[in-house]
Amino acid sequence: MNSQLNSNLSRRSLLKTLSVAGAALGTGYVISNPALGEPASPRTAKNNQNPWIYAFTIGDVEAWSISDGFLDFGQGLNLMYPESERDEMKKALEQRFEPTSSLQIYINILVLRKGSEVIVFDAGFGIVDHPDRGWLIEGLERVGINREDVTAAYLSHTHGDHMAGFIAPDEKPMYPNAVIYTTPEEHEFWMQTSHDFSRTKRDPKALDRMVKTAQMRFELLGGQIERAPAGSQMFGGLVTVEEAFGHTPGHAMYRITSAGETLLNFTDIAHSDILMFRNPSWVIGWDHDMSQAVETRRRFFKQASQQRTPCFGFHVPWPGLGGIAQRGSVESYDWAPRRIFWG
Ligand SMILES: [Zn+2]
C-alpha cells in the first residue's frame, strides 16, 4: 500500500488492488465483493440497508461507533463458566428474549477526530472474505476518513477481532501513518518465548497458533507499535489508558475526556450484554486468567455504576453506548443502552 493507493482511488479500485496483492502474496485473503454496492450475500444485503455508523460527540470531539460486524458462536453457553451455573445463565438469556443455542456478540469500533488527529480503538477483522465482518474500512470511508488519515490507534489486546484489522491483505500496515499504542504487559507477554496458559479454558491445541499469529502481527507492525502503560495520557488528556488485566495479561480500557464529558471504552471487560452483567462472576472461556478477569470486571462495574460513567462496549449491541446500572443492592447489573437519535 503506497502512493498508488491514494484517496483518489475509488473503493472499487482499492478492493481490486488489495485482492490482487492478497492473491499474489498467498495470504489467503480473497475479496468477495469487489464492486461496492453489489452485496456478497443476503446477509450483507440486509446489513447494507441498515445504518451501521453512529455519529456522536464527546465534549468538543467528533466520535463515531462503526460496526465491523458481528459474531455468532454456535457453542453458545458451552463457552461460559462455571459449568455448574449454565442453567442459571440460560434462564437469564430466556428472560431477555435472547437465543440460548448460540452466543451473539457485536464488533463496535470507536473512532475519534480532533483537529488533524484521527484515532481508532482496535481494528476489527480487516478486509476479509466473510459477509458478517470486516466492515470498518468502508465505514471509515463513508465518514470521509481514508486509511492514511488515521494518526493513532489503540490495541486493547491481541485477539483477532481487535488486531487482525491492523494488517492489510498485502501484509502491510492497514493504517500506515498511525502510531499503535498497546500496554507493555500485552506486548511482552506475546513476544516472550514461553507462555503460561494454566488459567484459561481455551483449547490447548489452539494456543500455539494463537501465539504465532500474535507474534507475526506484532512483527509486521514493527515500528508502529508504541508501548503505553496504564496511566498514559495522550492528545492533551483526551485519552487515558487504564488497566483491565485478566482477559489477556495486558488488556487495556480507555477513558476519553473532552470539555467536561467522559466516555469509558471498556473493550472486552464484558462480551455478552446480559450474562456478565447479570453475574460478574460468569466468565467466558477466552479469558486468559479467569479469576483476574472477574476481579477486574467487579471493580469496574462497581465504580462505573456508582459514578454513572457513560460507557462504550466493544462487544455489546451496536452502537455500544450506555451505562452500567446496579440491580438493587446485590452485585448484579444491567447494561443500560443509551437512546440513539437520527437526523
Ligand atoms: Zn474481543
Residue 63 lies in a domain: yes
CA of residue 268 to ligand 1 center, whole Å: 5
pLDDT of residue 198: 85
Residue 128 lies in a domain: yes
Reported in sequence order, the residue ranges of the chain that DSSP labels E, i.e. its strands, are: 53-58, 61-73, 80-81, 103-114, 117-121, 152-154, 179-182, 225-227, 233-234, 239-243, 252-258, 261-265, 283-284, 311-312, 321-326, 333-337
CA of residue 343 to ligand 1 center, whole Å: 30
Euclidean distance between the first and the last CA atom of the chain, given in angstroms as a whole number: 36
Residue 17 lies in a domain: no
Residues near ion ligand 1 (CB < 5 Å) are 161, 268
The CATH number of whichever domain residue 131 belongs to comes to 3.60.15.10
Residue 314 lies in a domain: yes
Residue 237 lies in a domain: yes
Name the domain count of the chain: 1
CA of residue 205 to ligand 1 center, whole Å: 20
pLDDT in tens, 185-209: 999 999 998 888 888 888 888 888 9
Q: Which domain holds residue 317?
A: 52-337
Residue 37 lies in a domain: no
CA of residue 314 to ligand 1 center, whole Å: 7
For residue 37, give Cα distances in angstroms to 33, 40, 45, 125, 218. 9, 9, 9, 20, 34
CA of residue 271 to ligand 1 center, whole Å: 7
Residue 286 lies in a domain: yes
Residue 333 lies in a domain: yes
CA of residue 252 to ligand 1 center, whole Å: 12
pLDDT in tens, 39-84: 344 344 445 545 589 999 999 999 999 999 999 999 999 999 999 9
